[in-house]
């Protein structure tokens, strides 16, 4: 399925050389505490849509497209600040993530975005924090989600 990206971004993708950088913005949210952690894989901070994304080394490993089950991306970030660790230690629910791609010259335009992904199976050590990014597994949910019994749905019986 083709993605809607700007004409300028498409030109930069197909150009043999370019002075533009594609930057990945990551937003980690812990909704019960309203804690937000915003980072960009860049050497300097970026302001995008009025929010500051802190320059922080991280990587995003995309799932394979084998068609064998639901794939999970892996998010790895350097463990150099206790802010994210404190959020993860206090998390009762899985933190939610937004991943967005922007161009360095027009940071207010999101070229590609994946939103509200659950960050699960989080582990960390002295140098790295790792987590699997998963969408909700709606394919394994029961259907229909309700039981239709004569006591509750007299009109059906």
> How far apart (Å, rounded) are the C-alpha atoms in residues 98 and 90?
20
Q: Which of 123, 82, 121, 116 shows the shortest CA–CA distance to 100?
A: 116
> Taking 60 as the threshold, does the pLDDT of residue 1 lie above it?
no
pTM over 0.85: no
Q: What is the pLDDT of residue 93?
A: 80
Ordered DSSP codes for 51-107: EEEEE--EEEEPPP---SS---EEEEEE---HHHHHHHHT-SSPPEEEEEEEETTEE
The pLDDT tens digits for 61-119 are 887 776 666 678 889 988 877 777 777 777 778 888 999 999 999 999 999 998 988 88
The pLDDT tens digits for 2-56 are 668 888 888 888 988 988 899 999 999 887 778 888 999 999 999 999 999 999 8
The pLDDT tens digits for 132-157 are 988 766 566 666 666 777 777 777 76
């Amino acid at each position: 399925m083709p993605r809607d990206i700007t004409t300028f971004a498409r030109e930069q993708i197909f150009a043999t050389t370019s002075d533009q950088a594609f930057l990945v913005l990551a937003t980690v949210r812990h909704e019960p505490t309203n804690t937000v952690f915003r980072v960009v894989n860049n050497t300097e901070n970026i302001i995008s849509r009025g929010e500051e994304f802190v320059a922080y080394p991280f990587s995003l490993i995309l799932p394979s497209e084998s068609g064998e089950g639901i794939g999970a991306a892996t998010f790895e970030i350097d463990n150099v600040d206790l802010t994210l660790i404190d959020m993860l230690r206090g998390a009762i629910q899985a933190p939610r993530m937004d991943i967005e791609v922007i161009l360095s010259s027009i940071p207010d335009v999101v070229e590609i975005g994946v939103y509200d992904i659950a960050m699960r199976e989080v582990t960390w050590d002295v140098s790295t924090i790792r987590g699997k990014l998963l969408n909700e597994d709606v394919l394994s949910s029961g259907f229909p989600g309700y039981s239709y019994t004569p006591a509750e749905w007299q009109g059906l019986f």
